Amino acid sequence: MNAGTVIVGAGSGGGALAARLTEDPAQRVTLVEAGPDFPRMEDVPEAVADAYEMSVEGQDWGLQAFFLEPPELREPQPYPRGRLVGGSSAVNAAIAQRASVEDFDAWLAGGNDEWSWERVLPYFSRLERDLDYGEEPYHGDAGPIPIMRHQRDEWAASGRAFERACLDRGHPPCPDHNEPGATGIGPIPRNQIGTVRASSLVTYLAEARERPNLTILSDTTCTRVLFEGTRAVGVEIECDGRRERLLADRVVLCAGAIHTPHLLMLSGIGPADVLSRFGIEIVVANEAVGQNLQDHPFAPVLTLLREPTQNVGVRAELKFTTAASGGLKDDMMMFPSVLDPATMNMKDVDTKGLKALTLVSLLAKPRSVGWLTLSSADPHVQPELHVNFLSDPSDIERLMESVRLAYELATTSPLREEIAEILFPDADTVAGDEELEAYILSVASTSYHASCTCRMGPAGDPGAVVSQRLAVHGTECLFVADASVFPNVPTGLTNLTAYMTGERLAEWLLNPAASAA
C-alpha cells in the first residue's frame, strides 16, 4: 500500500509539516520516528514534560562528536539529540526565539529569495500564539505554539540582579526578544504550557494524531530512501529487527542536521568518494552533503547561589554586539541559567547541595564550520561528527570578551551578593589571554543547535544540497525540512526557525504556486 507522503523524523520541522498537510483530508501522511511516542499527556516522562530542565539522556541518540580539530585535542563529547516523537523540541530548554532579520538578509543574499524576512514573517506569526504580544503586527495569536515570558517576580533573584547589572552597563531594555531588531536585556520568550515544554509532541501533533489521514510509526528507524533512478519512491524502515519497504508518492527528511545528511549518504546522495568507499550505489554525487555543520558554541562561568530558588531554567537574556564582531550585529547572547550543569556537558560538578547559576556566553554568529561523514554503511552506526568549534580565531576572541564580561558581572554588585562561590574559571584564568583561551578551548560545548549540513541554494551553487523550496538537487519527490537546510545557523535559537521551515514546505506541497510575496 502507498503511504502517501512519508515524513522521516517527528521533531520541529516534521511535526509542523505532518500537522499542516493533514489539515487537508485529501492528503495521506505517514510519520516515521525512530524513538518512542507518548500519545497521552499522562504517558509523557517527567523529564520530557518539564520545561525548566533540559533532558539529554533518557530519550537521546547517544551521539559523540569531536568538538575541536585536530580531534586529539579533546576526547569525543556527548552531542545530544532528541530521539522520540517531538524530537529535540521535546528535550530542549524551551526557548522560543526567532532568527533575526539580518539572518534572512544573508539567506536572501545567497540566492534564496523565498526566504527574505518579509516572506518568512507570516509563517513565524502563523505558528505562534504569543500570550504577551499577540496583537502586534509582527506576532501571531492563534498558532499551535504558545509563547510566554516570565514576569520579574517569577525570575530567580540572580536573574533580576543580572538584568540590573546589564542595564547599569548601558545595555538597553528589551521587553520582546522576538521583535524585529530586538537587542539588549530582557525576558526570554519561552514555549511552554504551564510547566510543560510545548514541543511538537504536545502542540502540532496532539490534534493531528486524531486525524484518520495521519499514521505515526514510532520506534521505527528509516534505514534509507528508495529510488527508481533519481525519483524517491519510498523508504526502507526497520522495526523490531524486521525491515520492510514503505512506498510513497514523496519523501520528506526531517531527521535533523545530523541524521538527515546521514540518511542521504546511506541512500546514495553525497560525496562520491565517501559513498564508493562504503560500497553505496551513487544516486546523486553531491560533495556538499554533510558539510557546513554549524552550531552555537558556548563557554560558561559556573557559580553557586547563596539562597535556594525554585525559579529554575532560563528566564532572561542579554543580546549584544562584541567589540570584535567584525561588523556582525548582535553576535553574542548571554543567559543567566539556573540549570543542572550536567545537562550542559559539564559532568561531575560538585554543587555542594546548592543551585548552580551558569552565566552562559553563547556565540550567536560563529564563523567556524564543521562537517560529518559516514563511518560505516550500517545505518545503526553513527556518522563521524566534527563540529570544529573555534577554528576561526575571531570566535575565540569574541567568547573571551563575553566570558570576561560574565566574570565581571558575577564579581560585582548587584549580582555578586547572590553568589556563594565561583567554581570556574578563576580570576587568574580570566586575566590572562593565553590562560583564558586555553580555558575556553577546554570547556566550549554545544548549545544543541546543529544545523546547515544540507543547506539550501540555487542548483548551480556547489555548496547547496536542496533548492530554496527544499527539494533535493538532482532528485524528484525528495525534500528536506529541518535545520539542516539553513544556510547559516540563526542568531536566535533554532527551534522556531525549524517549525517555520516545516510550515513553509507544507504550503508549497499543498499549493506549489504559493508564495508569501
**For 323-357, how does the pLDDT look when each residue is reduced to its tens digit (9 = 90+)?**
999 999 999 999 999 999 998 989 889 999 999 99
Domain ranges for the chain, please list them: 150-187+297-365+390-443
Write down the residue that cell numbers 593565553 correspond to: 434
Q: Please count the other Cβ atoms lying within 10 Å of the Cβ belonging to residue 513.
A: 5
Can you tell me the distance from the alpha carbon of 494 to that of 116, in angstroms, rounded to the nearest whole number? 17
Write down the residue that cell numbers 510509526 correspond to: 217
Residue 516 pLDDT:
41
User: How do strand 196-197 and strand 190-193 relate by DSSP bridges?
Assistant: antiparallel
What the block records as the C-alpha cell of 445 is 560545548
What the block records as the C-alpha cell of 71 is 580531534
What the block records as the C-alpha cell of 107 is 539567506
Give the global pTM: 0.97
Residue 512 pLDDT:
86
Residue 409 pLDDT:
98
How many angstroms separate the first and last alpha carbons of the chain? 38
Tens place of pLDDT per residue across the chain (517 aa): 788 999 999 999 999 999 999 999 999 999 999 999 999 999 999 999 999 999 988 899 999 999 999 999 999 999 999 999 999 999 999 999 999 999 999 999 999 999 999 999 999 999 999 999 999 999 999 999 999 999 999 999 999 999 999 999 999 999 999 999 999 999 999 999 999 999 999 999 999 999 999 999 999 999 999 999 999 999 999 999 999 999 999 999 999 999 999 999 999 999 999 999 999 999 999 999 999 999 999 999 999 999 999 899 999 999 999 999 999 999 999 999 999 999 898 988 999 999 999 999 999 999 999 999 999 999 999 999 999 999 999 999 999 999 999 999 999 999 999 999 999 999 999 999 999 999 999 999 999 999 999 999 999 999 999 999 999 999 999 999 999 999 999 998 999 999 999 999 999 999 987 754 3
Using CA of residue 446, residue 450, residue 451, residue 454, what is the dihedral sign? positive
Can you tell me the distance from the alpha carbon of 100 to that of 118, in angstroms, rounded to the nearest whole number? 12
**Nearest one of 121, 89, 116, 97 to 105, comparing CA atoms:** 116
Residue 515 pLDDT:
55
Just give the CATH number of 150-187+297-365+390-443: 3.30.410.40
Paired with 211 in beta bridges are none
Query: Cis peptide before 70, with omega less than 30 degrees from 0?
Result: yes
The residues annotated as belonging to the active site are 449
Can you tell me the distance from the alpha carbon of 66 to that of 49, in angstroms, rounded to the nearest whole number? 30
Q: Could you report the per-residue pLDDT of 68-108, keeping only the tens digit for each?
A: 999 999 999 999 999 999 999 999 999 999 999 999 999 99
Residue 500 burial (CB < 10 Å; 0-12/13-18/19+)?
Answer: buried
User: How do strand 356-363 and strand 332-338 relate by DSSP bridges?
Assistant: antiparallel
Residue 44 pLDDT:
95
Write down the residue that cell numbers 570578551 correspond to: 401
